[in-house]
A and B are shown apart, each in its own frame.
Chain A
Amino acid sequence: MQLVTPGIGLIFWMTITFSIVLFLLSKFAWKPILNSIKEREDSINNALSAADDARKAMDALKSDNQKLLNEARAERDRMLKEASEMKDQIIAKATKDAKDVGDKLITSAKEAIEKEKLNALNELKTQVAVLSVDMAEKILRKKMEDRSQQESFVNDNLKSITLN
């Protein structure tokens, strides 16, 4: 029976002690501890979400980089293609130009040659005429040494000229 009869002294001391403990612990232990735990949890959560955000940003950055890289690569390819096309064009054009110039040169050379040939021929003709005249003069001189012959000739010629 003594076991289930609460002692008044123990109730008294227990009430006082427990009140003091409750007060002291609430004020000086639980409040700072609970606040610290809450703060730490918040800071951990923040840090985690920040890390998550950073990771996302990094992923975005990475994909951006990839895009840029792809673009750059495409640009390079395009430029290379253009350059090669341009090269072909230039070569083709140069070849054509050279051909044209050559053709022109050849043509003008041919023309010049033709001209020179004509000149030479004309000169040759003049020369031949002069020489022929000279020869004819000489021959005539030789042939017209005597008077009779001169007269017969002139007569012949006169006969051939019809005066109308």
Chain B
Amino acid sequence: MFSNKYKITKYLIPAFLVVLYVTYAGLKLANAQHEVHTDSAAINASSEIVATAHGEASHEGATEEHKTEKVDAGKLIMEHIADAYDWHIATIGHTHVSIPLPVIIKDNNGLHVFLSNKFHHGHEAYEGYELKEGKLVNLAGAEFLDLSITKNVFAMFVAVIVLLIIMLSIAGSYKSNALRAPKGIQSFVEPLIIFIRDEVAKPSIGKQYNRFMPFLLTIFFFIFINNMFGLIPIFPGGANVTGNIAVTMVLAAFTFVITLINGNKNYWAHIFMPPGVPGWLLPLMIPIEIIGVLNKPIVLTIRLFANITAGHIIILGFFSLIFIFAEMNTGLGFGVSAFSVAFTTFMSFLELLVAFLQAYVFTLLSAIYFGSAVEEHHHEEHH
């Protein structure tokens, strides 16, 4: 017990000292430059406050360009977790390194297909469209259908291809390695498959679990691999696919439709003729039951979306702290970076858990909904 405590302090004390030193050095540096920012509002993560604070304290030499480089944490985070028409990798100086993605637009003039670099990062319009703060707008204000391969779509394609390669190769090794102990990546995937089968599908659905296994396994691995790719900070990871409400909505819609298709007599009877409810209550109960049914996919959609997005926001928030403090002065940025990196590391581990947990929760809830749809009740005597 004592030795354990001693070990922790052994690492904590030097880490604390380093942080202290860097902070102190930074403050010294700042004093030397006579540019100490005392505006406490600058600590606030809200970008506009930072920007205005800076604006008030602006020195004469501040150029237009310098102003645009100010750290805007809120905007940065939102840009990162939102969808985009190109895949931004890095900005070196004033050069944006990004992968252009195809823009596909259907409007009254037909189909427009072109790469997003035609927009020059929102500086130019093309074929009557332009990017305004990352959003595609028609210059004429006309209606259009946007089917572009956006960052999230592309990231999803990458994840899906990886998923297909892994699973199909495993299926192959199951054939060639039949009746043998699993080998290689097979050994990693098999416990998950068995976990889904024995701990999720069997107890939640019951006898008919076999019918739903392919779907449950697909959503589990789809969500899991997309969550994991989202945690990789560099291309082709880092996109917020499962933290996008459209993606989670489609996943939940699949679960919802499959539940409705497989709903048996008892399932519908429970909605429109709840057992043991007096007739005069039915006008109240039936809407409640219907809301309950509609509630399920909405809950699925929001849970996955919110969990994954929150994880991305927290990690990005910690990193933004570095730049917000660095803007106050460079040394402080270095000081905060130690703290930020430590917390981001911790959060990343937590997110690894969340990546698995949310995939599991989504699968488990889907299985429970399927279970309620195919459940055989024996309440006939109560009717």
B172 to chain A: closest residue by CB: A32
The answer, yes or no, to whether B328 is at the interface (CB within 8 Å) is no
Whole-angstrom distance between the alpha carbons of A104 and B81 in the complex?
Answer: 133
In the complex, B217 has a CB within 8 A of chain A:
yes
Nearest neighbor of A42 in chain B, beta-carbon distance: B179
| A7 to B175 CA separation, bound complex (whole angstroms) | 41
Q: A17-B160, A25-B164, A32-B175 are in contact. Are A7 and B170 (CB under 8 A)?
A: no
Q: Closest residue to A7 on the B side, CB-wise?
A: B246
Using Cβ atoms and an 8 Å threshold, which residues of chain B touch A13? 147, 149, 153, 156
Q: How far is the CB of A22 from chain B (nearest CB, A)?
A: 5
> CA–CA, A5 to B222, complex, Å?
22
Q: A28 near B214 (CB under 8 angstroms)? A: no
User: Considering the complex, which residues of chain A in the window 6-51 have a beta carbon less than 8 Å from any beta carbon of chain B?
Assistant: 6-15, 17-18, 21-22, 24-26, 28-34, 36-37, 39-40, 43
**Are A10's CB and B171's CB within 8 A?**
no
Complex interface: chain A residues within 8 A of B305 (CB): 4
Q: For B215, what are the chain A residues with a Cβ–Cβ distance below 8 Å?
A: 22, 26
Contact for B145 among A8, A28, A37, A39, CB less than 8 A: A8
Interface string of B206-233 (1 = CB under 8 A from A): 0000100111011001100000000000
Interface size on A, residues (CB 8 A): 33
Contact A7 B174 (CB under 8 A): no
Question: In this assembly, does A164 line the interface, its C-beta being within 8 Å of a C-beta of chain B?
Answer: no
Residues of A within 8 A of B152 (CB): 10
- In the bound complex, residues from chain A placing their C-beta under 8 Å from that of B175 are 32, 36
Say what secondary structure dominates the interface of chain A: helix
**A2 lies within 8 A of chain B by Cβ:** yes
- Please report the C-alpha to C-alpha distance between residue A33 and residue B78 in the assembled complex, in whole angstroms: 40
8 Å CB contact of A28 from B104, B171, B221: B171
Instruction: Give residues 115-130 of A contacting B (CB, 8 Å).
Output: none
Contact B254 A18 (CB under 8 A): yes
By the criterion CB–CB under 8 Å, are B174 and A33 in contact? yes
A161 within 8 A of B: no
Whether A3 sits at the interface, judged by CB under 8 Å, is yes
Flag whether B53 is at the interface (Cβ < 8 A). Answer: no
Considering the complex, give the chain A residue whose CB is closest to the CB of B103.
A9
On A, residues with C-beta under 8 Å from B are: 2-15, 17-18, 21-22, 24-26, 28-34, 36-37, 39-40, 43
Point out residues on B near A: beta carbons under 8 Å. 78, 81-83, 104, 135, 145-150, 152-153, 156-157, 160, 163-164, 167-168, 170-171, 174-175, 178-180, 190, 193-194, 197, 210, 213-215, 217-218, 221-222, 244-247, 249-251, 254, 305, 309
